[in-house]
Amino acid sequence: MKLNGYDIPSPITPVDKKTIVLEVRDRVSSGKAVTDIKAVKIQHTIKYQGLTAASFTIFNTPYQSRAEVAYVDDEGDTYTVQVVSLSYSTHRLNTALKQNVTVVLEEV
């Protein structure tokens, strides 16, 4: 798996892929409800027990800048994504690692 050209570690669990449908619901003059689908995106959730500072920076840099980056998943598919969420535990048993890291990548 790669993010922005960098190899990223394998997660502790399989990557969770969720389809998100962006839609607008409205009513027409007859009162009937209509739904317009604007986009269908894939959201990837990756969970790690711990990441080194170097591995964490691979995710943190695009998260801070909100940049669009290339992501190659474990199946070899390539997506253009944004890192929309990056959370980790503040209680650390090992000070050399960021622990219980959850990364959410959303297709652009």
* pLDDT at residue 96 tops 90: no
Tell me the C-alpha distance between 98 and 101, whole Å: 7
Average pLDDT of span 80-104: 92
- At residue 102's C-alpha, the angle toward residues 100 and 105, to 5°, is 165
Q: How many Cα neighbours within 13 Å face the side chain of 94?
A: 10
- Predicted structure pTM score: 0.87
Range of the domain at 15: 2-107
DSSP state of 70: E
Tell me the C-alpha distance between 77 and 80, whole Å: 10
Tell me the C-alpha distance between 2 and 18, whole Å: 19
Q: Tell me the pLDDT of the chain averaged across its residues.
A: 94
pLDDT per residue over 51-88, tens digit each? 999 999 999 999 999 999 999 999 999 999 999 999 99
Domain count, the chain: 1
**Rg of the chain taking only CA atoms, in angstroms:** 17
Token pair in block for residue 93? 């048993």
* pLDDT at residue 106 tops 80: yes
Decide the pairing of beta strands 69-72 and 33-51: unpaired
